[in-house]
Amino acid sequence: MPMERLKVLFHVNEMEKWDTALGNMVNLLKDAGEGAVDAVVLANGPSVNAYGNENKLAVMKELSVKGIRFLACRNSLRKLCSSGDSCITEESLPAFIEVVPAGITAIIKIQADGYAYVKP
């Protein structure tokens, strides 16, 4: 009998947690196998700034090719732009990053679909 796919939601809302989160994802894929994982990463708050970091984006792109989905909170993107901090627009995001209206709502819906919640 084949093993059921592992369903996991990684929630990153602090910039300093990205390296840990990305390392967790790499290790998960190595341990469970790429085909055995259904993983989603949701970034909200200041952590959406990682979607403008070329080094982190390179790792994320590799992980997305292996099936990990990356989400960005629209509210967080807008707040960062309006606060005068760095501004990452939806249009400037790489194609592999999906935008959700509200990160908190996405977290609730994804967990309701049976995903384990991991907050590095």
d(CA 13, CA 20): 12
Structural domain spans, the chain: 6-118
* pTM as predicted: 0.92
**For every one of its 120 residues, what pLDDT tens digit does the chain have, with 9 covering 90 and above?**
456 889 999 999 999 999 999 999 999 999 999 889 999 999 999 999 999 999 999 999 999 999 999 999 999 999 887 766 678 889 999 999 999 999 999 999 999 999 999 999
**Which CATH superfamily hosts domain 6-118?**
DsrEFH-like (3.40.1260.10)
- Residue spans of beta strands (DSSP E) within the chain: 6-12, 37-43, 69-73, 97-100, 116-118
Q: Are 73 and 11 in contact (CB under 8 A)?
A: no
d(CA 46, CA 25): 20
Tokens of 100: 């959700």
